[in-house]
Amino acid sequence: MGVINFIMKKKKLNLRDLKPNSEEQHSHDDGHNHSGNSSNIKAYIPAIISFTMLIVGIALDYFDVPFFKDWIRIIWYGIAYLPVGLPVVKEGWESIKKGDVFTEFFLMSIATIGAFIIGEYPEGVAVMLFYAVGELFQNAAVNRAKGNIKALLDVRPNEALVYRNNDYVSVSPETVEIGEKVQVRVGEKIPLDGILLSDKGSFNTAALTGESKPDTIAKGEKVFAGSINMDGVIEIETTIEFKDSSIARILDMVQNATARKSKTELFIRQFARIYTPIVVFLAIGVTFLPYFFVDDYVFRDWLYRALIFLVISCPCALVISIPLGYFGGLGAASKNGILFKGASFLDAMTKINTLVMDKTGTVTKGVFKIKEIKAIGWDEKEFMQYLMAMEEQSTHPIAKAILEYRAEGEDYEASEVSEIAGKGLKGIVNGKTVLVGNKALMTANNIKVLEETETIVESIVLVSIANTFAGYVVIADELKEDAKETITALHKVGINNIMMLSGDKDSITQQVARELNIEKAKGGLLPEDKLNEVELLKQNPENKIAFIGDGINDAPVLAASDVGIAMGGLGSDVAIETADVIIQTDQPSKVVRAIKISRSTRKIVWQNIILAFGVKVIVLILGAGGLATMWEAVFADVGVALLAILNAVRLQRMRWS
């Protein structure tokens, strides 16, 4: 098997390898992936054969069995070596032919073949056996680290039931066009983004958002590809092609995440290329240089020390455990509904000390709701009938909030409605002139309003009926449920420099900032104003800035920040394209979780680096001095690699509260 297919092709943990083909997907859906289990067992057969023959050989040596001598002994250990050694020797030779001489395969081949040459047959087999077993464990660890992201890839829909020619036919999602009607049965995945045509639906979006709580969607609202239908047969109308759907873009982003290496990972790879040839030449020096300085020089003894030196120097622990650490961080984040576009952003997130955030859609829901209705001289319901008749002529978000009010009785109709730029609406309802808008509109028409309206900081709609002030409606954006706890948690993790920037009016922005305990806030800003504020912060080189926004009008600031974090909402094109980190659930508290995951990842990576280097240096010195055997060398290589892998796998088990 080429020792686990050349160790995932030289440890390049490419998520594109995870794409399930149709056969594998079918097995997954059935819950009986026999071929996968079979291949896992086959992977261990060579190691089992070598281990059995090694134990038998050592036992025959120990009991000094008469026939187990000379060529019989050499042939026995040679056969024991082949199942685990031949794939490594072959890979080493293939690498040499490609010009890549100093690989771990070359080191292990030279060290173990050298052990055979000097008659240390059991040790030669044991070193290669433990190396192969270590690679098998590494492969298992890689698969575990891939598990969370593979679960995301498994949400890729396989078919769509499309209504064509008066019947529902099963087709590939890639062939479905915009505007077609798709039926989704209970337990099936939504194949494409669309609009719900049925009255309502309940969907499991855990694979997309990290949230286990089912999401209830009403008729006319958006549904997203990859969600699982939980309740009844539903119908949707597709609004986008599969290649442009939210799940397709997210999958593409995740599959390419490992392409953006961290600086630490890039350094280790470059270091290994320099480090490996150096230790080879040092091993040659350990073999021959003592001849000129040692009186009782014995070639065999110094060659044995050099072989130990080679086994210890194999950079396996570094090459696999460092990327595996970052890979584990990416997997842990995706499991929590946080998508990093690469390991480099995991590193960048650990350095953040300044957080700048948008208001609307980030800490607030971005949905206006009626907070207060005050009718003067009118019944509230009749007052709202007049107001709604006018607002039906408007497309403003505030109009939408007002129209959600439900009043009993017959709906009124407005006529001769005209929009007065920057002020509001004027029209006729039930034969009465109605004005709906701000104070400037009332002043222009000589309508006197209540003084209490001057102290209201939220958005306010003033209403005049028949040239008399009839009341007002206060409209406010709601804070997200976890907004307050997010700011508190940010302070706890050491992010104390927090600033809010908003395009909403400054009075509202300041009020929200006070509610959230944010000391710095500015409102009434255009996108370029937000960019200027961030650029001012960047003038201080000590500031490492993350910006959180909705990814639409905040795109310039997302791009300019050290780390751009977008409230993806699963459907925001600009968020996915511009930001470095996507919060799929639109929960600001996930930013704190992203910081914790990043810091834990970096801590584990550096623990692995120190562990690998520390143990190797100690055993290298002992080996060169003749105080370490091949068994210590095996521990320094495979043992340290396994310890580093187990350390990295911890990321998959941590709880991120």
Based on the residue annotation, tell me whether 358 is a catalytic residue of this protein.
yes
Rg of the Cα atoms in the chain: 34
Distance CA 248, CA 224 (A): 11
Task: Kindly tell me the burial class for residue 435, based on how many C-beta atoms sit within 10 Å of its own C-beta (0-12, 13-18, 19 or more).
Answer: buried
The pair of three-digit structure tokens given for residue 340, joined into one six-digit string: 């990093």
Please list, in sequence order, all residues whose beta carbon lies within 8 angstroms of the beta carbon of residue 15, skipping any fewer than 6 positions away.
Answer: 146, 149, 153, 254, 255, 256, 257, 258
H/E element, 246? helix 246-255
Distance CA 254, CA 584 (A): 13
H/E element, 469? strand 468-479
Choosing from 193, 215, 358, 550, which is the catalytic residue? 358
The pair of three-digit structure tokens given for residue 612, joined into one six-digit string: 């690998």
State how beta strands 200-204 and 228-229 pair.
antiparallel
Please list, in sequence order, all residues whose beta carbon lies within 8 angstroms of the beta carbon of residue 160, skipping any fewer than 6 positions away.
Answer: 170, 171, 172, 173, 176, 182, 191, 192
Task: Kindly tell me the burial class for residue 603, based on how many C-beta atoms sit within 10 Å of its own C-beta (0-12, 13-18, 19 or more).
Answer: middle
The pair of three-digit structure tokens given for residue 16, joined into one six-digit string: 């594109």
Tell me, what amino acid is at 311?
A: V
Residue closest to 487 by CA, chosen among 524, 450, 512 = 512
Q: Are 656 and 338 in contact (CB under 8 A)?
A: no
Distance CA 264, CA 186 (A): 46
What does the DSSP 8-state code read for residue 635? I
Residue 497: count other Cβ atoms within 10 Å of its Cβ: 16
Helix axes 316-335, 343-350, angle to 10 degrees: 80
Tracing tokens 């539903």 back to the chain, one arrives at 234
Strand, helix or coil at 85? helix
Distance CA 359, CA 351 (A): 23
Half-sphere exposure of 378 (CA within 13 A, CB side): 21
Q: Phi and psi dihedrals of 426, rounded to 5?
A: -135, 135
| CA-based torsion, 518, 519, 520, 522: positive or negative | positive
State how beta strands 545-549 and 520-522 pair.
unpaired
What does the DSSP 8-state code read for residue 455? G
Give 465's strand partners: 434, 468
Say how many residues make up the chain. Answer: 657
Using alpha carbons only, give the angle 386, 391, 395 rounded to the nearest 5 degrees. Answer: 175
Using alpha carbons only, give the angle 349, 351, 354 rounded to the nearest 5 degrees. Answer: 90
Chain centroid to CA 323: how far? Answer: 15
State how beta strands 424-429 and 414-420 pair.
antiparallel
Q: Are 196 and 220 in contact (CB under 8 A)?
A: yes
Enzyme catalytic residues = 358
